[in-house]
């Protein structure tokens, strides 16, 4: 099974033209060895605890415990077939000897090898130096006209972050490199700030990603390093072991009690403050919102505005300390992070909140998507005295199932996209008299978990879509006739309909042809009538 839980774009010009290969030195090897030793010690402690529990029970009641003990034994014992090689001591200088007491080299039959005399190179085993260096360097190159698309993938119980390169002019999308993750990723946030490289100021520039996981830690990775084994920093409880792998300490069970220092349940959303660039906000299933200082990688403040899982965050586009948060308690809060004790305005909705977003083209307004498939549009200046008395500007029944993802085009005013577990992606035109559907498409990604518009004006119509089938598709929505008709007056002159062929770019494009015939019918069906729209303005 393969699925993609989240995607995000990297604007053009931030990625290094030639990403560096990770250098695996002796210090890193020692660090990995120490971390592995800690994990082995933890496993042995689990075994001891399980054995004690087994002895305290009757024979008829210990079948489950016995199975657990056997499993732990399998995890920490060396296979019988390998014991004779004593691999645990393979690098001891006085240990590796053969049956005659002679030192045993790593290649035991080295004496039988045939050598070329007079330093003659063997053409069958000797490769010229740097033969592939130029080719590899060219393969890793990222052009200024390229975008990166980041995708959090889960496949066969393995989790990793895929870094795609999107070449718009070449209609090409491919995996540049990937990063193995220790836990299921749930949220991604691109950072233009360097992490772990000293104080952050206005001139600091970086290309990092924050990954919120089930662990529940936040990992910060440098996207300009290929084949990196460990994150640059960890925000959360897991940071202590990573920073001090050689520190001997008694094993402690991870705390599950909410506190002011770290999350104790899955991290569901991340939001980087583009003005105060050292600040990263996170929300969690532990019902809290936390503010992290990236220069110290410590939690600066914890907030408890909600009574259930907090699933979505968004910083205000101009009010730099105002943070919007949405929760499964069916409320949305707009709070000033400088005044945690002040009463924050709160809005109510009909079901669990899925996502919240400010309108980048008019920051007085914000959007809410819900589990029941409804989009709400609110004026932040009209906060109700009680959440139950909330009156949105308008509501839209966009889908019959949960709106798991939606996005607002940062370049084109009034252009929004919604994605749902009903497998449909819908594009909407929001005007002064309300929203109307432009086009609806099934892009073959399964249940849609992520819809994100590209951040650059040059590729403003590109929409990345991903979901339960594990494929990423980039849809150039400007090639859709209905989209061109709807937004031609808000952008630079666009090509005539006869000159454009609809374009969908993905690693797996098996569904693009089958969908092409449906496009015409759906375009006809998508009228200017505000289907499913209900005005709530008085």
Confidence at residue 226, expressed as pLDDT on a 0 to 100 scale: 92
Nearest by Cα to 310 from 349, 345, 267: 267
pLDDT reading at 1 higher than 70:
yes
Q: Per mean pLDDT, which range of 139-153, 192-206, 312-326, 409-423 is the poorest?
A: 192-206
- Confidence category of residue 519, pLDDT binned at 50, 70, 90: very low
336-353 tens-digit pLDDT: 999 988 899 999 999 999
Give percent of the chain with pLDDT exceeding 90: 58
Confidence at residue 347, expressed as pLDDT on a 0 to 100 scale: 98
- Confidence category of residue 84, pLDDT binned at 50, 70, 90: low
Distance CA 521, CA 499 (A): 20
β-strand 20-21 against 225-226: which pairing, if any? Answer: parallel
The structure's pTM equals 0.76
- 446's CB contacts (< 8 A; 6+ apart) are 3, 423, 467, 468, 469, 470
pLDDT reading at 210 higher than 80:
yes
Q: Per mean pLDDT, which range of 153-157, 189-193, 360-364, 425-429 is the poorest?
A: 153-157
Sheet with 298-303, side-by-side order of all strands: 267-272, 279-284, 289-293, 298-303
pLDDT reading at 252 higher than 70:
no
Q: Are 166 and 150 in contact (CB under 8 A)?
A: no
Interval 169-189 mean pLDDT: 94
pLDDT reading at 537 higher than 50:
no
Mean pLDDT (the chain, rounded): 81
Confidence at residue 28, expressed as pLDDT on a 0 to 100 scale: 63
- 80's CB contacts (< 8 A; 6+ apart) are none
pLDDT reading at 248 higher than 50:
no
Tokens read off for 79: 């296979």
Domain ranges of the chain: 26-119
Q: Per mean pLDDT, which range of 121-125, 143-147, 214-218, 385-389 is the poorest?
A: 121-125
Residue with tokens 């491919």: 174
Distance CA 4, CA 154 (A): 6
What distance, in Å, lies between the first and last C-alpha atoms of the chain?
Answer: 49
98-124 tens-digit pLDDT: 556 655 554 455 445 555 555 555 555
479-512 tens-digit pLDDT: 999 999 999 888 766 555 545 678 889 875 444 4
Q: Are 391 and 536 in contact (CB under 8 A)?
A: yes
| Per-residue DSSP letter, 84 | T
- Confidence category of residue 249, pLDDT binned at 50, 70, 90: very low
Q: Are 195 and 295 in contact (CB under 8 A)?
A: no
The DSSP line for 369-426 is: EETTSEEEEEETT---SSGGG---SEEEE--SS---EEEE-SSSTTEEEEE-TTS-EE
Tokens read off for 135: 């080719």
């Amino acid at each position: 099974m393969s699925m993609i839980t989240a995607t995000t774009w990297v604007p053009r010009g931030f990625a290094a033209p030639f990403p560096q290969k990770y250098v695996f030195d002796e210090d890193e090897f020692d660090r990995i060895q120490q971390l592995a030793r800690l994990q082995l010690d933890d496993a042995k402690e689990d075994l001891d605890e399980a054995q004690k529990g087994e002895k305290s029970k009757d024979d008829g009641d210990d079948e489950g415990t016995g199975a657990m003990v056997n499993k732990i034994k399998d995890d920490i014992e060396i296979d019988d077939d390998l014991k004779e090689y004593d691999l645990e001591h393979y690098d001891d200088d006085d240990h590796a000897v053969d049956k005659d007491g002679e030192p045993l080299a790593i290649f035991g039959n080295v004496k039988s090898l045939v050598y070329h005399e007079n330093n003659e190179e063997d053409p069958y085993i000797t490769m010229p130096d740097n033969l592939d260096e130029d080719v590899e360097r060219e393969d890793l190159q990222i052009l200024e006209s390229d975008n990166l698309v980041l995708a959090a993938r889960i496949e066969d119980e393995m989790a990793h972050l895929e870094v795609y390169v999107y070449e718009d002019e070449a209609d090409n999308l491919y995996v540049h490199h990937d990063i193995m993750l220790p836990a299921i990723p749930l949220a991604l946030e691109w950072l233009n700030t360097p992490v772990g490289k000293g104080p952050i100021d206005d001139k600091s520039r970086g290309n990092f990603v924050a990954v919120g996981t089930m662990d529940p830690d936040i990992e910060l990775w440098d996207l300009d390093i290929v084949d990196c084994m460990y994150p640059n920093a960890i925000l959360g409880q897991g940071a202590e072991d990573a920073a001090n792998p050689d520190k001997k300490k008694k094993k402690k069970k991870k705390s599950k009690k909410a506190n002011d220092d770290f999350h104790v349940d899955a991290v569901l959303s991340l939001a980087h403050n583009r003005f105060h660039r050292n600040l990263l906000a996170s929300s969690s299933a532990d019902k809290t919102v936390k503010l992290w200082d990236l220069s110290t990688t410590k939690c600066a403040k914890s907030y408890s505005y909600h009574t259930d899982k907090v699933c979505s965050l968004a910083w205000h586009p101009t009010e730099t300390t105002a943070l919007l948060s949405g929760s499964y308690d069916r409320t949305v809060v707009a709070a000033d992070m400088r005044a945690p004790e002040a009463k924050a305005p709160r809005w109510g909705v009909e079901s669990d909140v899925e996502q919240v977003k400010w309108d980048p083209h008019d920051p007085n307004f914000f959007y809410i998507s819900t589990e029941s498939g409804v989009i709400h549009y609110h004026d932040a200046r009209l906060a109700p005295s009680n959440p139950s008395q909330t009156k949105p500007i308008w509501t839209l029944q966009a889908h019959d199932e949960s709106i798991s993802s939606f996005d607002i085009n940062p370049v084109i005013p009034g252009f929004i996209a919604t994605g749902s577990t009903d497998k449909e992606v819908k594009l909407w035109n929001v005007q002064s008299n309300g929203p109307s559907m432009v086009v609806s498409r099934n892009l073959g990604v399964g249940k849609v978990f992520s819809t994100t518009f590209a951040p650059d004006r040059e590729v403003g119509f590109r929409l990345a879509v991903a979901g339960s089938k594990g494929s990423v598709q980039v849809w150039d929505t400007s090639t859709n006739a209905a989209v061109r008709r709807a937004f031609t007056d808000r952008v630079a002159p666009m090509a005539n309909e006869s000159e454009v062929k609809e374009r969908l770019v993905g690693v797996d494009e098996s569904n693009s042809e089958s969908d092409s015939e449906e496009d015409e019918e759906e375009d006809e069906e998508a009228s200017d009538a505000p289907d499913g729209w209900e005005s709530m303005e008085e």
